[in-house]
Copies of this chain bind each other. A is one copy, B any other.
Amino acid sequence: MSVTVITKIDRMTRWVPGAAERLHEAALELFATRGFEQTTATEIAQSVGLTERTFFRHFSDKREVLFHKQHLFVQAFLAGVEAAPPDASPIEIVASVLRSATSFFPDERRHPSRRRQSVIDQNPALQERELHKFAGVATAVADALRVRGVAEPAATLAAESGITVFRIAFAQWIREDEQRSLADIAEDVLHELLNLARGRD
């Protein structure tokens, strides 16, 4: 490959400030208005004046735009495990995980989150990918609990319960008529889970 060609490719794929964010916002807009299947990566890029090449520098395919920043999402859960005091019980650690994870979704994220969910709800393959994402978070949290000395099956039960509470709270948070913060809803749902478990006797 000649130097000219390399320089040309380098110029075409150069770093564009905030490109991932712009592509992400544009994709959500197009997916929500036109439909996920009907939108191409090229159209997403062009709608914000970027090239298809720039799109593929940031995302492997259009599906991945919806799972942007997933590593930060997982980290928000794991930070909650870290933040719990050393003598915390597994369920106290779950409460700490929920406080940390929900702080990742301040109220200004409610509208884009609702829009993203409406896209996912309309596509079975995206739903499977979303389930896979949460399964990965649950595995990571269970691993972190075991590192803290929580035995099995308590570690997996606590991690899975935390994810279930988060998902139920999240679905409620993005409802059109909902005003409470995600943190408040998650606290209520966790409380319901504890009541449910205590109600057996």
Contact = CB atoms under 8 A, between A and B. Distances in A.
Contacts of A198: 194, 197-198
Given A131-B132, A132-B131, A157-B168, A91 B194 contact: no
A21 interface: no
B194 A200 contact: yes
A102 interface: no
Interface in A152-201: 153-154, 156-158, 160-161, 164-165, 168, 172, 189, 192-194, 196-200
Contact of A128 (B89, B129, B158, B189): B129
Interface string A128-142: 110110010000000
A153 B168 contact: yes
A147 to B, nearest CB: 18
23 contacts: A90-B199, A91-B196, A91-B197, A91-B199, A91-B200, A92-B200, A127-B135, A128-B128, A128-B129, A153-B172, A153-B189, A156-B164, A157-B189, A157-B192, A160-B164, A160-B168, A161-B161, A161-B164, A161-B193, A164-B164, A194-B198, A196-B197, A198-B198
